[in-house]
Structure 1
Amino acid sequence: MAQFAEHVVTDQAEIERLKAMILVLDEEARVEVELDDGRVLTGAVAIKPTLQMFIDPQGNEGTNGVLRLDDALEPEKPHFIALASIRRVRRLEPDQHTILRRED
């Protein structure tokens, strides 16, 4: 049974972008993410996200995923972020300055 999400992805190029993003979001990786609404969150990836099938409010089926990010300042308050709402990901480890950015 599919889960519900505010936004689902059906465009193959966007699905490939989500797949590339997941490659950077290793479990326990320290990252900074910029969201579509302009917020920038920093923390540790709790669990490596996966792509799943979701249904949006209009009943459309598509792909998305959920990132659980343990906040750097308040780790007891995790963020659950839809992958499709992430504009940019930056790894914070000194040896990995990977940046993925969605081109709008």
Structure 2
Amino acid sequence: MGRAAERVYTDPASIRRLESLIGELPANGHVVLLLKDGSSCDGVVVTRPNVQLFRDADEREGINATVKLERPDVPAWSRQVWLDQIARVEHVDSIMASEN
């Protein structure tokens, strides 16, 4: 992945939101991501994401981050998701643990 992003953030509130999402995405955690466009995806977090500097199409520098999900049961599947597109994180590990 290059250092280009569709959206970058410089305001403290948006950066705090991204950092808060990172706290909800532990390495090897099984999560369902509910996205702002109404779709969702689930998988295992490969590594905890980190905020990074990117440039948008207007060459404005700011912060964003991605998380990579994989599915152990579908080895060829993986997906990168921009954190700013996540509306909510659901933890499948927690749901399963509470059912036992």
Normalised TM-score (structure 1): 0.81
Give the secondary structure class of the aligned counterpart of 2:19.
Answer: helix
Amino acid at match of 2:80: F
Shift of 1:38: 1.6
Which residue number in structure 2 is paired with residue 62 of structure 1?
62
* Range with bigger deviation, 81-90 or 45-54: 81-90
Alignment of 1:30-45 (within 5 A): 30-45=30-45
Q: Is the 8 A contact 1:42 1:72 kept in 2?
A: no
Secondary structure, aligned partner of 1:3: coil
Report sequence identity in percent: 31
Where does 1:13-32 land on structure 2 (aligned, <5 Å)?
A: 13-32=13-32
**CA distance in structure 2 between the aligned counterparts of 1:66 and 1:4, rounded to whole angstroms:** 12
2: CA distance, partners of 1:9 / 1:16: 10
- Could you tell me which runs of 5 or more consecutive residues in structure 2 were left unpaired when the two chains were aligned: none
RMSD: 2.2
Structure 1 residue runs without a partner (length 5+)? 98-104
1:1-104 alignment to 2 at 5 Å? 3-71=3-71, 74-94=74-94
1:102 matched to which residue of 2? none
Pick the structure with more helix per residue. 2
Question: What is the CA–CA distance in structure 1 between the aligned matches of 2:57 and 2:80, rounded to whole Å?
Answer: 18
Task: Report the Cα offset of residue 76 of structure 1.
Answer: 1.9
C-alpha separation in 2, matches of 1:92 and 1:66:
20
Counterpart CA distance in 1 for 2:56 and 2:96 is: 34
Q: Rg: which structure is higher? A: 2
